Chain A
Amino acid sequence: MLIDLIGLYTNRIEAIIITGVILFVIAIISLWKLEETFNKDLNYLEESHIV
């Protein structure tokens, strides 16, 4: 779908490369925003779920 969409403006192989770059950049930003969980204590509840 994404490759097809980008492929409307360029050739197939460039569309695949551009898709890869987009996904890679999004992954880097997501990782940067991600919480560090090593050594995190897992024995807790999500507050919004307490009824």
Chain B
Amino acid sequence: MIKQSKDNVFNMLVIVAALGYFVDIYDLLLFLVERRDSLKEILGATASNDEIQRVGKQLLNWQMGGMLIGGIFWGILGDKKGRLSVLFGSILLYSIANIANGFVQSVPQYAILRFISGFGLAGELGAGITLVSETMSKEKRGIGTMIVATIGVFGAVVAGFMGNVIENWRYSFFLGGGMGLALLLMRIGVFESGMFESVKEKKVARGNILSLFKSRKNTFKYLNIILVAVPVWYVMGVLVGFAPEMMDKLGVKSFVPENGKCVMFAYLGITIGDFGSGLLSQLLKSRKKALGTFLFLTGIGIVLYFTVATYSEAAFYSTILFIGFATGYWAVFMSTASELFGTNIRATVTTTAPNFVRGSLILLPC
């Protein structure tokens, strides 16, 4: 068995958290990949493109709503009952929801299952990163979160690939759910964080999200970490997600970007970026310097998107790859979120912050 030690960066916990995030991202992207095929079957062959797009957006909002509420629920539960129960509880919930998603026959059923799936998906990453941060040494924990994020984000590339390989969209959902359930078998050999266990014995309030807003200092600390990562979702949700419409509005006539290809190039860049930003943070011995470097690169990427990317198809996809790399500071963002607050509120902050960043997309519809 692989031991769970403070200095072993490939310990059982890192592997489980990384694979959990892999399945998490796979399931998140799976809906985007299979949305069209599944809705064509459920709405009937006569459904127009506009109707498919409208229902697809509604389902995405259900999923996002589930993630926002789930983020708060799992975060508080992580501080009250433990990080491990959230890690495996969330994996179990979204896996069952995804398997059930493979059986849907109507839009209301689809909406309920997207909500439950989003609710479940919201807990895994925060619980995993909190556990990794609390169980590894302060010198090595950044490498642990870097491994979790890098392996996890690769799930997006696999989702895109499997979407093309598996003909029947229902089987793709079964596969996603099945992978999650298989992961639960790895529960043996993973232990609760010692820091949490010691806090449990003390007379202290745990997971009180409202107390984050009782002092100015804590409120700004919490808001600052969320706002640092919002450009990631501006880039992914607006510039990459709506790339065909954006290039059209910019007057580009020589090529039309493909959504699937954009997502693939962007996530390939993010995978490399997550590894790069995590490594840079370790080399510089600073989270802020690594975040600053990648935020600066994101700024350059945005400028390139509105200028150079419009020249040709090759320039466009190169820019998408670069912009993906630049926004790959998610690993360092998650590390920092987990390191900002004390043990009695850490899971709440680490789980809610990424979900509020994802949820900020609701404020930026294109």
Contacts and interface: CB of A to CB of B under 8 A. Distances in A.
Contact of B295 (A13, A17, A27): A27
A42 B195 contact: yes
Interface string B210-223: 01001100101101
B202 A45 contact: yes
Interface in A1-51: 1-4, 12-13, 16-17, 19-20, 23-24, 26-28, 30-31, 33-46, 48-51
B250 interface: yes
Nearest to A31: B228
Interface in B275-302: 281, 285-288, 291-292, 295, 298-299, 302
B127 to A, nearest CB: 15
B340 interface: yes
Contacts of B298: 24
Given A2-B363, A16-B366, A30-B228, A44 B138 contact: no
Contacts of B227: 26-27, 30
B249 A36 contact: no
Contacts of B225: 30, 34
Given A1-B365, A45-B344, A34 B224 contact: yes
B230 A27 contact: yes
A24 B364 CA distance: 14
A45 B343 contact: yes
Contact of A46 (B238, B295, B345): B345
Interface size grouping (class) on chain B? 35 or more
B365 A3 contact: yes
A51 B288 CA distance: 33
Given A1-B363, A16-B246, A36-B287, A41 B234 contact: no
Nearest to B203: A51
A34 B205 contact: no
B341 to A, nearest CB: 6
B230 A3 contact: no
A34 B341 CA distance: 12
B185 interface: no
A42 B134 CA distance: 7
A23 B232 CA distance: 10
17 contacts: A1-B365, A12-B249, A16-B246, A19-B234, A20-B238, A20-B239, A27-B227, A34-B221, A37-B287, A38-B142, A40-B339, A43-B195, A44-B342, A46-B345, A49-B206, A49-B211, A49-B344
The 9 closest A-B pairs by CB, nearest first: A37-B339, A46-B342, A30-B227, A30-B224, A49-B205, A45-B342, A1-B363, A13-B249, A34-B224
Interface of A: 1-4, 12-13, 16-17, 19-20, 23-24, 26-28, 30-31, 33-46, 48-51
Interface of B: 133-134, 138-139, 142, 195, 198-199, 202-206, 208, 211, 214-215, 218, 220-221, 223-225, 227-231, 234, 238-239, 246, 249-250, 281, 285-288, 291-292, 295, 298-299, 302, 306, 335-336, 338-346, 362-366
Given A27-B227, A34-B225, 10 more contacts: A12-B249, A24-B298, A31-B228, A31-B288, A38-B281, A38-B287, A39-B139, A43-B343, A49-B205, A51-B204
